[in-house]
Chains A and B, each alone.
Chain A
């Protein structure tokens, strides 16, 4: 690996219009730079060789972190993960997001890395993705042609592939208010803090003791080509049946839906084992806490 970065042109626009103009001009041969904690690694290893790098940290409106009571949380593209963690409402209301971002890389990286960058990198192991999936986040994509909102479940297309067009960029993520009284948690099996998840599981539970109102959502990292939410378990929990039986069934559904690979971090067998163990642990804890 060469330690020197490949050559590229560096732009630091101060308005969104300028950034969109550059994206349109370079037709997919430009990369957006926010925290850089994924991009610079990919540049150095020559996985990405863009002609231009567009640093968006000069665009003030992208540094928006705003909670609207009863509606939800808006996280702009240049808000760092540590800024997110320091926002009191994230800790008190968006438990599953707080829990997953706390486990994302390390403190130094979280001073640079952004939530929007984590999803735009579209790693199957993105730690914030399962949380955003169970919270039904919405991604705002903007280009010179206009803007559109992409549901997070439609945002991840394949390993490192998003639904973004080459001239589009994400300006913010909107996270709706979680269901009332809900609790959330993220479990990450990992070799050390620096490494990607072997398996990550995000869960959200509301009204655990009232089957007809009960809400249970599960989403996973590192078990498929993209982060995935397993919708098939959700109806199951509306049944008025003993919880251990429902949890058993949910685990079986999850195991049918995942398609883990074998890599340096673990075998497909081991990943399935983790899906089984972590899903049970997560659900039991969320039900008991509720």
Chain B
């Protein structure tokens, strides 16, 4: 079946099978490799993308279900080829070690701060507690998100 996806503002028409997931299609058909595959069962959260604005685990979404929707991956947060302040904050706070989980954390943080720039430490922890970082740099990740909050205040 044919589906239409808008990924980071660009429209794609893709031929998919019913048993393909959004994760499969983003990586293998559209070629966005920043979306990582981890556990394939919704536990690690590394395949997180924004689906119509909300963070979801793309290994548990069928490509067919996403027909007509808008997807944002970590590349989509850049403006004019430059890193967004949130992305810079991750670098500045040492919130990246191996980088495997980074896209998922950045996208989740972007959603969180867009909804509420006055977020508390507890709310940050609650929002990211479904994501696993095996380098266990959680403290730096929390600091980076809290530091980036000011860029979301109007």
Contact = CB atoms under 8 A, between A and B. Distances in A.
B61 interface: yes
Contact of A106 (B37, B61, B130): B130
A112 interface: yes
A44 B40 contact: yes
A5 interface: yes
Contact of A41 (B48, B60, B61): B60
Contacts of B43: 194
Interface residues of A, number: 32
Contacts of A112: 56-57, 60-61
Nearest to A111: B54
Nearest to B47: A108
Given A108-B55, A108-B56, A194 B61 contact: no
Contacts of B61: 36, 40, 112
B72 to A, nearest CB: 14
A40 B18 contact: no
Interface string B21-61: 10000000000000001001111010010010011110111
Contacts of A109: 42, 57, 60, 130
A37 B18 CA distance: 16
B64 A44 contact: no
A170 interface: no
Nearest to B60: A40
B68 to A, nearest CB: 10
Interface of A: 1, 3-10, 12, 33, 36-37, 40-41, 43-45, 53, 55, 57, 82, 105-109, 111-112, 192-194
Given A107-B108, A194-B43, 4 more contacts: A5-B21, A8-B19, A37-B57, A111-B56
10 contacts: A7-B17, A12-B64, A40-B42, A40-B60, A43-B19, A55-B65, A105-B130, A107-B126, A107-B127, A109-B57
